Amino acid sequence: MKNKKKWVYFFGQGKAEGQATMKELLGGKGANLAEMTNIKLPVPPGFTISTEVCDYFSKNDHSYPEGLDEEFKANLEKLEKTSGKKFGDASNPLLVSVRSGAAVSMPGMMDTILNLGLNDKTVEGLAAKSSNERFAWDSYRRFIQMFGNVVKNIEHKVFEHELEKVKKEAGVEEDKDIPADKLKKLVASYKVAFKEKTGKDFPQDVNEQLADAVKAVFLSWDSERANKYREINKITGLLGTAVNVVAMVFGNMGDDSGTGVCFTRNPSNGENIFYGEFLQNAQGEDVVAGIRTPQPIAELEKVNKKIYDQLLEVRKILEKHYKDMQDIEFTIEKGILYILQTRNGKRTANAAIQIAVDLVKEKFLTEEQALLKVDPEQLNQLLHPTFDPKVKYNVIAKGLNASPGAAVGKIIFNSKKAEEIAMNGEKVMLVRAETSPEDLGGMHTAQGILTARGGMTSHAAVVTRAMGKPCIVGCSAVSINEEAGTCKIGLKEYKEGDYISINGTTGEIIDGQVPLVQPDISQGNFKVIMDWANRFRKLRVRANADTPKDCETSLYFGAEGVGLTRTEHMFFEGDRIIAVREMILAEDLESRKKPLAKLLAMQKQDFKEMLKIMDGLPVTIRLLDPPLHEFLPRTEEDLQAVAKELKVDIKKLKAKNESLHEFNPMMGHRGCRLGITFPEIYEMQAQAIFEAVAELHKEGIKVFVEVMIPLVGMVTELVFLKKRIKKIADEILKKNNADVPYKIGTMIEIPRAALTADIIAAEAEFFSFGTNDLTQMTFGFSRDDAGHFLGDYKEREILTTDPFVSLDVQGVGQLIEMAVKKGKSVRKDLKTGICGEHGGDPKSIEFCHKAGLEYVSCSPYRVPVAILAAAQAAVKENLTKK
Catalytic (active-site) positions? 459, 835
CB atoms within 10 A of CB 798: 10
* Span from 193-201, 572-580, 603-611, 710-718 in contact with a copy of itself (CB under 8 A): 710-718
Q: Is 586 in the site for a copy of itself (CB under 8 A)?
A: no
Among 668, 794, 801, 824, indicate the residue that binds a copy of itself (CB under 8 A): 668
Among 90, 317, 676, 805, indicate the residue that binds a copy of itself (CB under 8 A): 676
Say how far apart CA 522 and CA 124 lie, in whole Å. Answer: 66
Among 427, 488, 752, 794, indicate the residue that binds a copy of itself (CB under 8 A): 752
What is the full DSSP assignment across 532-553? HHHHH--SEEEEE--SHHHHHH
**Shortest distance in whole angstroms from residue 476 CB to a copy of itself:** 14
**Shortest distance in whole angstroms from residue 437 CB to a copy of itself:** 14
Backbone angles phi, psi at 350, to 5 degrees: -60, -45
Task: Pick the closest to residue 625 from 730, 750, 805, 812 (CA basis).
Answer: 750
Among 814, 826, 850, 852, indicate the residue that binds a copy of itself (CB under 8 A): 814
Task: Say if CB 691 and CB 738 are below 8 A apart.
Answer: no
**Shortest distance in whole angstroms from residue 716 CB to a copy of itself:** 4
57-60: which pairs have CB atoms within 8 A and are 24 or more residues apart?
A: 57/218, 57/240, 58/218, 58/221, 58/222, 58/240
Contacts with a copy of itself, 494-533, as mask; x by CB under 8 A = ----------------------------------------
Closer residue to a copy of itself in complex, CB, 288/805: 805
Contacts with a copy of itself, 606-645, as mask; x by CB under 8 A = ----------------------------------------
Can you say whether the dihedral through the CA atoms of 125, 130, 134, 135 is positive or negative?
Answer: negative
**Shortest distance in whole angstroms from residue 667 CB to a copy of itself:** 4
Output the CA–CA distances (angstroms, integers) from residue 362 to 272, 347, 367, 505, in the order listed. 10, 19, 11, 33
* Span from 4-12, 401-409, 588-596, 744-752 in contact with a copy of itself (CB under 8 A): 744-752
CB atoms within 10 A of CB 735: 11
Contacts with a copy of itself, 546-585, as mask; x by CB under 8 A = ----------------------------------------
Among 664, 700, 737, 880, indicate the residue that binds a copy of itself (CB under 8 A): 664
Among 219, 586, 646, 759, indicate the residue that binds a copy of itself (CB under 8 A): 759
Q: Is 324 in the site for a copy of itself (CB under 8 A)?
A: no
Contacts with a copy of itself, 244-283, as mask; x by CB under 8 A = ----------------------------------------
Q: Is 168 in the site for a copy of itself (CB under 8 A)?
A: no
**Shortest distance in whole angstroms from residue 776 CB to a copy of itself:** 6
Q: Is 826 in the site for a copy of itself (CB under 8 A)?
A: no
Say how far apart CA 810 and CA 805 lie, in whole Å. Answer: 15
Q: Is 70 in the site for a copy of itself (CB under 8 A)?
A: no
CB atoms within 10 A of CB 575: 10
Say how far apart CA 204 and CA 200 lie, in whole Å. Answer: 11
**Shortest distance in whole angstroms from residue 753 CB to a copy of itself:** 9
Residues 711-740 that bind a copy of itself (CB under 8 A): 711, 713-714, 716-717, 720
Can you say whether the dihedral through the CA atoms of 487, 490, 494, 500 is positive or negative?
Answer: negative
Applying CB under 8 A, the site for a copy of itself has a residue count of: 49
Contacts with a copy of itself, 769-808, as mask; x by CB under 8 A = ----x--xxxxxxx-xxx-xx--xx--xxxx--------x
Q: Is 288 in the site for a copy of itself (CB under 8 A)?
A: no
Say how far apart CA 607 and CA 707 lie, in whole Å. Answer: 12
Closer residue to a copy of itself in complex, CB, 493/792: 792
**Shortest distance in whole angstroms from residue 660 CB to a copy of itself:** 8
Task: Pick the closest to residue 635 from 410, 414, 411 (CA basis).
Answer: 414
> Which alpha helices (H) appear in 323-366, and where do they start and end?
349-361
Output the CA–CA distances (angstroms, integers) from residue 297 to 275, 302, 322, 326, 798, in the order listed. 6, 10, 21, 15, 46
Closer residue to a copy of itself in complex, CB, 389/663: 663
Please name the amino acid found at residue 613: I
Say how far apart CA 498 and CA 513 lie, in whole Å. Answer: 10
Q: Is 437 in the site for a copy of itself (CB under 8 A)?
A: no
Can you say whether the dihedral through the CA atoms of 518, 523, 527, 528 is positive or negative?
Answer: negative
* Span from 557-565, 688-696, 707-715, 844-852 in contact with a copy of itself (CB under 8 A): 707-715
Q: Is 815 in the site for a copy of itself (CB under 8 A)?
A: yes
Closer residue to a copy of itself in complex, CB, 366/716: 716
Closer residue to a copy of itself in complex, CB, 39/759: 759
Closer residue to a copy of itself in complex, CB, 614/834: 834
Our CA dihedral for 371, 376, 378, 384, rounded to 10 degrees, sits at 110
Task: Pick the closest to residue 237 from 869, 846, 807, 799 (CA basis).
Answer: 799
Euclidean distance between the first and final Cα of the chain, in Å?
Answer: 40
Among 169, 636, 662, 730, indicate the residue that binds a copy of itself (CB under 8 A): 662
Non-local CB neighbours of 5 within 8 Å, separated by 6+ positions: 52, 65, 67
Q: Is 536 in the site for a copy of itself (CB under 8 A)?
A: no
Q: Is 811 in the site for a copy of itself (CB under 8 A)?
A: yes
Q: Is 58 in the site for a copy of itself (CB under 8 A)?
A: no
**Shortest distance in whole angstroms from residue 53 CB to a copy of itself:** 22
Say how far apart CA 103 and CA 85 lie, in whole Å. Answer: 30
Say how far apart CA 529 and CA 72 lie, in whole Å. Answer: 48
**Bridge-partner residues for 327, per DSSP?**
263, 343
Site for a copy of itself, rule CB under 8 A:
662-669, 673, 676-677, 711, 713-714, 716-717, 720, 749-752, 755-756, 759, 773, 776-782, 784-786, 788-789, 792-793, 796-799, 808, 810-812, 814-815
